[in-house]
């Protein structure tokens, strides 16, 4: 049978990252391509204990259907956490638990956007969200990302066109660049979006993973009229495999997201929600997060040292104070094809997997000479060895 | 801020069932309104043991990211199970694990339908799927459901219009009616859909729960060209709270569903998938299913006896041989409003929750004098008492 697939999905391709991850099945491959939290930083033992308690004490809740909005005690704990961070206002905000922040971002686009509506995103940005938006056949446009956040002049130019429904931002340790948006740009971006009635979707999966520098408050803390949707996740601080994220936004938006989540997966796995709830009740989450920082600081510095020592000096790179990623750029004048060749050669011939920048561009035709490195997943010795291998290859291809 | 929500979601309302379920928070309410499997039939102890083994032996897999297609060992076990049932052909089929059958049905519509494309469904049908389809702004049309399946003449009339992409069917113990489609109608429906190049979405959440009569083979067993998408779930036989379902369809369709699932929730909770896998490996699933039957037979008969004994004799009802639901019809000539009044009066004044037929109509304006009863969730004494209360009310309102 010949299928006529929906136009909104025919152009969607499986994420290039996931294609490259398939190489990781080869145990000899050193993978700098993943986006997983550091395995040694996940509180597996505590979660195992809490799980045993849940299934012994409340199997009827864990194994039966729950409500779409989420496990009520967890919603309350998330609200408390967000209140501490200035991101939740009981007057007009509400919270829904989602199956990871991926679902939070996808449903935000679904409830707000008709086909053809414009979504603006940092260019480059996280492919999972970009593809989620594209799967609703929207007009996705990029705004140049600078080291301190998007270019706000360019943002205003695009907002002026009038049909922008949503502006998607990852202000902290952005994926793929590791860049963090300055407070000044957060304020400016918030004001511009308010002026042009565009809703901001603030995706903050990495904000907790800051090991150096000062925290910068969320854009959501500026929100007094319900123009910011804030999405978060427990994937990086507790476990990604349990799939628990959340959205905090104006009640009217949450109500629509609830209806869409109901038809998407009814509710998030009960056990996962109960596990997060019990963790938040038993442990001090802020202390737990602080304890993660030493792991991330160590791994970031290990990779930054490797790059400084081994890579061609013609390669530039970001020096993030948190998150999971370092963004490298090949010398000016390098073509997209040469960058892809470098990445392909690295994994195919030298067994080090990295993600070509083409995975994060807004339009398939956008040029990029960058690639993304992940330092959280590989073990320390792999970080050192992988940097040596990539360094040697980079010098061969681009000179000392 | 005033929001311009997407046109596809503005008309979606939260499920009437879930609204009524809110009454169930009152512990005095006897609920015949749910769709949950019988609590006493869930293998909670076995799942608790398997969970402890998973978290002790493979925490790294349970707590980290997995692949979108699903936990590979589980996919293999599902393929084996479907092979035994004649629903999987290794030549052209593939399987993806989903977050419940709800996601399976939603993504099937997403990959195949543009806005405005036609989906046909039994009238009445399961509100969760109907709303999922509506959330993609399709043209949803009903085909009259008879006691042995949809009216195939009406089906052909609608298929002739030419723009039908998907025909959605629940052939076994349909929700809400409890009706089962005859083998003859399955064959006829399959032939008609093939003739007019419409894909069948065969949703089979209740097929395992047959306690009487002979199994009727799935429509998928007729499929030789990839024109049937088969969705299933472990919600009714193991646990709904773990959210594990699956789709079996032609590889080309599965590939598109994978891309859409990737942007929906990345992957289904790893622990849930590992739990189902270990259950399938350790226990004989067919024997486990046979053991559930006595529970369901007992509860079905208890409610059927209660209806026969207590209800107004002017109320007609289905006598299902499995599944979760009985469908009752008020006397001919009863208006939709009178039916809704009966349901409202039952829960508000007499504390017995039932679901009005309006929850399952294809168009909000469709007339119905029916209501749905669930026998799997309430305890035995509640079934007896609830039937007495509804019976008394029905006689008051509609005569002996």
Residue of A nearest to B258 (CA): A14
Q: Is residue A1 part of a domain?
A: no
B144: β partners: B123
Contact at 8 Å (CB) between B136 and B117? Answer: no
Contact B110 A4 (CB under 8 A): no
Which residues of chain A are within 8 Å of residue B100 when distances are taken between CB atoms? Answer: 265-266
pLDDT bin (cut points 50, 70, 90) of residue B364 is confident
Angle subtended by helix axes B127-134 and A251-265, to nearest 10: 120
Which residue from B8, B112, B242 is facing A63, i.e. has the nearest CB?
Answer: B242
pLDDT of residue B26: 82
Question: Is B204 found in the same domain as B94?
Answer: yes
Q: Following DSSP, what letter does each residue of A216-249 receive, concatenated?
A: ---GGGG-SSS-EEEEEESTTTT-STT--EEEEE
Q: Is residue A333 part of a domain?
A: yes
Contact B52 A47 (CB under 8 A): no
> Within 13 A of B37's CA, how many CA atoms are on the CB side?
28
Contact A5 B256 (CB under 8 A): yes
Cβ-based neighbour number of residue B14 at 10 Å: 16
Does position A313 have pLDDT exceeding 80, yes or no? yes
Q: Is residue B205 part of a domain?
A: yes
Q: How far is B235 from chain A (nearest CA, A)?
A: 9
Q: How far is B182 from chain A (nearest CA, A)?
A: 25
Q: Is residue B1 part of a domain?
A: no
Q: How far is A308 from chain B (nearest CA, A)?
A: 30
Question: What is the DSSP-derived secondary structure letter of residue A360?
Answer: G
Question: Is B265 found in the same domain as B119?
Answer: yes
**Domain final residue, candidates B268, B285, B302:** B285
> At CA B74, angle to CA B70 and CA B77, rounded to 5?
140
Percent of chain B with pLDDT over 70: 97
pLDDT of residue A51: 98
Contact A6 B114 (CB under 8 A): yes
Q: What mean pLDDT value characterizes chain A? A: 95
Contact B266 A102 (CB under 8 A): yes
pTM over 0.90? The answer is yes
Does position B322 have pLDDT exceeding 90, yes or no? yes
> At CA A287, angle to CA A31 and CA A147, rounded to 5?
50
Contact at 8 Å (CB) between B124 and B177? Answer: yes
Contact A114 B239 (CB under 8 A): no
CATH number for the domain harbouring residue B360: 3.90.1150.10
Count of H helices and E strands in chain A? 14, 14
Q: Is residue B387 part of a domain?
A: yes
- Tell me which of A266, A272, A278, A279 to substitute to probe the interface with B (most B C-beta atoms closer than 10 Å): A266
**Phi, psi (5° rounding) for residue B98?**
-120, 165
Q: How many CB pairs under 8 A join A and B?
A: 248
pLDDT of residue B27: 85
CA distances from A99 to A128, A246, A259, B264, B275 (A): 14, 8, 14, 9, 18
Residue of B nearest to A12 (CA): B259
Does position A169 have pLDDT exceeding 70, yes or no? yes
Examine residue B203 and say whether the peptide bond preceding it is cis (omega within 30 degrees of 0).
no
Strands (E), chain B: 30-31, 93-98, 118-123, 139-146, 149-150, 164-169, 199-203, 228-233, 245-250, 316-317, 325-329, 352-353, 355-356, 370-374
Contact at 8 Å (CB) between B383 and B303? Answer: yes
User: Residue A200, exposed/middle/buried by CB under 10 A (0-12, 13-18, 19+)?
Assistant: buried
Q: Tell me: the pLDDT tens digits for B237-276?
A: 999 999 999 999 999 999 999 999 999 999 999 999 999 9
Q: Which residues contact B25 (CB under 8 A, 6 or more apart)?
A: none
Question: Is B383 found in the same domain as B251?
Answer: no
Q: Tell me: the pLDDT tens digits for A1-56?
A: 889 899 988 888 765 566 666 666 788 999 999 889 999 999 999 999 999 999 99
Which residues of chain A are within 8 Å of residue B111 when distances are taken between CB atoms? Answer: 5-6, 9
Q: Which residues contact A333 (CB under 8 A, 6 or more apart)?
A: none
Q: Is residue B347 part of a domain?
A: yes
Which residues of chain A are within 8 Å of residue B4 when distances are taken between CB atoms? Answer: 112, 165
Report CA Rg, chain A.
21
- Give the C-alpha separation, B263 to B250, whole Å: 21
- Tell me which of A60, A64, A107 to substitute to probe the interface with B (most B C-beta atoms closer than 10 Å): A64
Q: Is residue A186 part of a domain?
A: yes
pLDDT bin (cut points 50, 70, 90) of residue A63 is very high
Q: What sign does the dihedral A305-A307-A310-A314 (CA atoms) show?
A: negative
pLDDT of residue B171: 98
pLDDT bin (cut points 50, 70, 90) of residue B10 is confident
Three-class secondary structure of residue A331 per DSSP: coil
Question: Is B257 found in the same domain as B332?
Answer: no
B353: β partners: B31
Question: Is A133 found in the same domain as A120?
Answer: yes
Q: Tell me: the pLDDT tens digits for B96-154?
A: 999 999 999 999 999 999 999 999 999 999 999 999 999 999 999 999 999 999 999 99
Question: Is B234 found in the same domain as B123?
Answer: yes
**Domain final residue, candidates B285, B312, B338:** B285
pLDDT of residue A19: 60
Count of H helices and E strands in chain B? 14, 14
Question: Is B128 found in the same domain as B103?
Answer: yes
Contact A18 B67 (CB under 8 A): yes
Q: Which domain holds residue A37?
A: 7-42+287-398
Contact B259 A14 (CB under 8 A): yes
Q: Which residues contact A355 (CB under 8 A, 6 or more apart)?
A: A16, A17, A20, A33, A176, A343, A371, A372, A374
CA distances from A117 to A124, A137, A230, A278, B226 (A): 20, 8, 20, 41, 34
> Within 13 A of B280's CA, how many CA atoms are on the CB side?
17
Contact A271 B241 (CB under 8 A): yes
CA distances from A128 to A49, A186, A206, A220, A221 (A): 32, 23, 15, 22, 25
Question: Is A344 found in the same domain as A206?
Answer: no
User: Residue B202, exposed/middle/buried by CB under 10 A (0-12, 13-18, 19+)?
Assistant: buried
Which residues of chain B are within 8 Å of residue A47 when distances are taken between CB atoms? Answer: 55, 59, 63
Structure tokens at B149: 């399946």
Q: Is residue A357 part of a domain?
A: yes
pLDDT of residue B1: 81
Q: Tell me: the pLDDT tens digits for B160-181?
A: 997 899 999 999 999 999 999 9
pLDDT bin (cut points 50, 70, 90) of residue B365 is confident
Q: How far is A295 from chain B (nearest CA, A)?
A: 17
Higher-confidence position of B386 and A364: B386
Contact at 8 Å (CB) between B185 and B148? Answer: yes
Percent of chain A with pLDDT over 70: 97
Question: Is A291 found in the same domain as A245?
Answer: no
State mean pLDDT over B344-370.
93
Q: Tell me: the pLDDT tens digits for A179-209?
A: 999 999 999 999 999 999 999 999 999 999 9
Question: Is A213 found in the same domain as A68?
Answer: yes
Q: How far is B255 from chain A (nearest CA, A)?
A: 9
pLDDT of residue A364: 84
In A266-335, alpha helices (H): 270-282, 285-310
State mean pLDDT over B209-237.
96
Q: How far is A227 from chain B (nearest CA, A)?
A: 7
Which residues of chain A are within 8 Å of residue B99 when distances are taken between CB atoms? Answer: 99, 264-265, 269
Question: Is B274 found in the same domain as B370?
Answer: no
**Domain final residue, candidates A284, A307, A342:** A284
Which residues of chain A are within 8 Å of residue B55 when distances are taken between CB atoms? Answer: 44, 47-48, 51-52
Q: Which residues contact A146 (CB under 8 A, 6 or more apart)?
A: A179
Domain count, chain B: 2
CATH number for the domain harbouring residue A253: 3.40.640.10
Q: How far is A234 from chain B (nearest CA, A)?
A: 11
Question: Is A338 found in the same domain as A201?
Answer: no
Which residue from A9, A59, A113 is facing B259, i.e. has the nearest CB?
Answer: A9
CA distances from B338 to A203, A310, B7, B342 (A): 48, 80, 32, 6
């Amino acid at each position: 049978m010949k299928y006529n697939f929906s136009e909104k999905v025919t152009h969607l391709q499986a994420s290039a990252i996931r294609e490259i991850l398939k190489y990781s099945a080869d145990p000899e491959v050193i993978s700098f391509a993943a986006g997983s939290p550091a395995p040694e930083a996940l509180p597996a033992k505590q979660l195992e204990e809490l799980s045993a308690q849940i299934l012994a004490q409340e199997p009827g809740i864990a194994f039966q259907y729950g409500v779409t909005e989420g496990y009520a005690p967890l919603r309350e704990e998330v609200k408390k956490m967000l209140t501490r961070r200035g991101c939740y206002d009981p007057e007009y905000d509400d919270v829904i638990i989602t199956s990871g922040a991926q679902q939070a971002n996808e449903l935000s686009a679904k409830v707000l956007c008709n086909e053809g509506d414009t979504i603006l995103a940092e260019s480059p940005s996280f492919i999972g969200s970009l593809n989620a938006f594209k799967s609703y056949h929207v007009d996705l446009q990029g705004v140049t990302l600078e080291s301190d956040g998007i270019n706000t002049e360019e943002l205003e130019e695009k907002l002026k066109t009038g049909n922008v429904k949503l502006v998607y931002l990852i202000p902290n340790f952005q994926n793929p660049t590791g860049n963090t948006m300055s407070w000044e740009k957060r304020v400016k971006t918030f004001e511009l979006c308010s002026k042009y009635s565009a809703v901001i979707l603030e995706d903050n999966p990495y904000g907790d993973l800051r090991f150096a520098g000062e925290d910068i408050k969320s854009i959501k803390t500026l929100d007094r009229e319900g123009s910011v949707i804030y999405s978060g996740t427990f994937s990086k601080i507790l476990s990604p495999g349990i799939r628990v994220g959340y959205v905090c936004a104006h009640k009217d938006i949450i109500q629509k997201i609830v209806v869409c989540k109901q038809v998407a997966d009814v509710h998030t796995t009960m056990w996962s929600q109960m596990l997060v709830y019990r963790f938040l009740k038993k442990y001090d989450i802020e202390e737990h997060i602080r304890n993660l920082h030493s792991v991330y600081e160590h791994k970031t510095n290990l990779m930054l040292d490797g790059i400084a020592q081994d890579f061609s000096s013609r390669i530039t790179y970001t020096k993030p104070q948190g998150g999971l990623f370092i963004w490298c750029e090949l010398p000016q004048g390098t073509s997209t094809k040469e960058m892809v060749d470098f990445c392909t050669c690295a994994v195919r011939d030298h067994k080090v997997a990295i993600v070509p920048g083409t995975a994060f561009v807004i339009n398939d035709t956008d040029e990029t000479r960058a690639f993304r490195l992940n330092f959280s997943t590989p073990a320390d010795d792999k970080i050192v060895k992988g940097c040596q291998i990539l360094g040697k290859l980079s010098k061969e291809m681009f000179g000392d």
